[in-house]
Chain A
Amino acid sequence: AQTVTQSQPEMSVQEAETVTLSCTYDTSESDYYLFWYKQPPSRQMILVIRQEAYKQQNATENRFSVNFQKAAKSFSLKISDSQLGDAAMYFCASSQGAQKLVFGQGTRLTINP
């Protein structure tokens, strides 16, 4: 069975600084996808970034980038130039082609002005 682990229940960062959220996963499949979703207080789940396991290049979306270490089954999210609007719960998730996401427990990110 797939498992996703986020070991940091809470993180905080000063506005404009960089923060990294950690995620590890476990899967026996060779073909899978990894995601980071953001859930602000509105509870709307918003896609931040996606990584295909077969791609060696780390995904990047503006200020958001990932460090994908396939052998170590690690998938961390780096947020650069943190903004107040980045404050939210961040969920790491994996999918193995069955349209079924397995989520981690989440990391609450606080941005200090």
Chain B
Amino acid sequence: KAGVTQTPRYLIKTRGQQVTLSCSPISGHRSVSWYQQTPGQGLQFLFEYFSETQRNKGNFPGRFSGRQFSNSRSEMNVSTLELGDSALYLCASSPNNQETQYFGPGTRLLVL
């Protein structure tokens, strides 16, 4: 099976703009989770979607949002970008309620 794919792989934005990142899970996987990785804060959970419903959310401001489509593909959106949003954004998928998550290659976002 093909792995988790994320697009775009690299992105440069300026403060105040918004950005949308996309994640396609492994075929058959219905759960998609998003994580932010920064040198200072490490890996932090953003949110998780299952069957188009957000099941869990981390401690991030409302500028961070997401959604999942009927084909399990997911998008996350960050509005009013801040310099501190520069990070590697990782998406992971898992089948149903199993615990093992498989990660995509990530999207590197740089906010100038």
Query: Could you tell me the distance between the alpha carbons of A37 and B55 in the complex, rounded to whole angstroms?
Result: 23
Tell whether A91 is near chain B: CB-to-CB under 8 Å: yes
**On chain A, which size bracket covers the interface?**
20 to 34
Main SS of chain A's interface residues?
A: strand
Tell whether A111 is near chain B: CB-to-CB under 8 Å: no
Give the nearest-CB partner of A96 in chain B: B99
**On chain B, which size bracket covers the interface?**
20 to 34
Residues of A within 8 A of B92 (CB): 45, 101
Tell whether B83 is near chain A: CB-to-CB under 8 Å: no
Residues of A within 8 A of B106 (CB): 43-45
Residues of A within 8 A of B94 (CB): 99
Question: Can you list, as one digit per residue, whether each of B52-77 has a CB less than 8 Å from chain A (1) or not (0)?
Answer: 00011010000000000000000000
Query: Could you tell me the distance between the alpha carbons of A43 and B104 in the complex, rounded to whole angstroms?
Result: 9
- Give residues of chain B (40-98) contacting chain A, Cβ–Cβ below 8 Å: 42-43, 45, 48, 50, 55-56, 58, 88, 90, 92, 94, 97
